[in-house]
Structure 1
Amino acid sequence: MRKALGTVLASVALTVGSTVALAAPASAAGTSAADAAAAASGTAICYQAHVRSIGWQGSVCNGAMAGTTGKNLGIEALTVATAGTGGLCVQAHVQNIGWQNKVCAADGQNVTVGTTGRGLNIEALVISTGTGVSANGHFSNFGWTGWSGYAYEVAIGSTGQNRAMEAIALAV
């Protein structure tokens, strides 16, 4: 069963490239995205944001918002895990770095993209799952993009426009 919540492709130009993921620290707050996905019944996508000046937030799942709005605080890193989708791949475009390498994992395993401790925002994401995904994102000086269509791979955000991802919602 899919839900119409998640991160969305911004209506600004997006260039797809390659991403490099970094492991989430053991000190990440709350339940891990993989633990949350494993606890969810059926198909699920769970994610956890590392927000500038806040750090790691707790995990949320299936269309709930990760990050903040109205505070001008970008998401610097994102950890994502799925259950019942056959796994996922995530790639991030990071401020002043560009596209990192694509990182993939099986259901129940975390994928982490972005950076921590460097003050660099995620500006765009490409996410794919074996069953399909939808996304909605909130970006600086833009607002919510609206939900993307449901597809095996979705892209959200922009490159070259210095628009920080401030919040994200994903659904499978």
Structure 2
Amino acid sequence: MKYLIPIFLFLLIPLSGCTEQPIPEKSNPFEGLWKLQIMEQKNPETGLWQEWRDGMQGYILYDATNTMALHLTMKGYENTDLRFPNFIDTIPEEALKHLTKSYVYLAKYTVNEQEGYVEHARISHSNPGDWNKVVRRKYTFKGDTLILQPYESENANLKLTWVRSTQ
């Protein structure tokens, strides 16, 4: 009988959840879907950040194979009565103007943790002049928030704040 209690405890402890669990390896903090919270531009006169134009919306997706996709649009882009066919050359001018409010690209990405940037080697782009270009983004993580700032001079005054999305 005196051996039954230790044996019982020995069997009970693993069932109680007190066993040591392996610590999962650190995952890629970029990986996942991010929703644009705000896109800001630095005012050159005041140095203050203010919302860019009338606001933007969109998503950025980083996957585990170092491929990423970005889609940005003006706020309310989807709220239009415009309907037009794809892949034909008879799209009305109004629809063509609306399409210019959508910005899309796909890229392979690499992260330089030492320098604090993520590099997007673009594979395709909604602007043909930006195909195969490589761009860098300074990055900062604050919990479930990712802040990206372009390195290239023509966009260096922009800041995009993303929140991890559950969609």
Q: Which TM-score band (shorter chain)?
A: under 0.3
Larger radius of gyration: 2
Q: Could you state the TM-score of these two structures normalised by the residue count of structure 2?
A: 0.24
Bigger proportion of residues as helix:
2
Between 1 and 2, higher relative CO (CA 8 Å, sep ≥ 6) is seen in 1
